[in-house]
Amino acid sequence: MVAYSCTYNKKELPVLANPEKGLGNGNSLPDSVSFALHVLPIFKTECATENCHSGTKPASNLNLENDKAYAQISNSYRGYLNTVQPTNSLLYNLLTTDGSKKMPPNKKVDQKQIDLIVKWMAQGATNN
């Protein structure tokens, strides 16, 4: 049995009354969020950039390039996803924190993109 723990600066996270609706500000989200169509493009433009989560030595050993992203982000030992409470996931916290572990480090991901990721997790975080 392998066990590990991960700590990070957890801030007060919003609770979604209905994760299917997302947190958005009136911009509707698709009924079904696809990893390939909706989430992967976010990782590609926001995360799998030069000197970040791509290449032979990706940051935090997390490669989010097209062919590796799903296996890397969904690996249960890494703890990035929480399909029961998506806003309590490490991935959500990294995308929404203002702290030193904020991802991406030099800008903020668009709220609609975050909402898509939250809805994808709420729908089971499948490789669809």
What is the per-residue pLDDT across 34-80, written as a single tens digit (0 to 9) for each? 999 999 999 999 999 988 999 999 999 999 999 999 999 999 999 99
Higher pLDDT, 1 or 70: 70
pLDDT in tens, 3-31: 333 333 333 334 444 444 444 445 699 99
Across the chain, what does the average pLDDT equal?
84
pLDDT on residue 7: 36
- Cβ neighbour number for residue 126 with a 10 Å cutoff: 13
Which pLDDT band, with edges at 50, 70 and 90, does 98 fall under?
confident
Whether residue 109 contacts residue 46, with contact meaning beta carbons closer than 8 Å, is answered with: yes
- 40's CB contacts (< 8 A; 6+ apart) are 66, 69, 70
The 8-class DSSP code of residue 88 comes to G
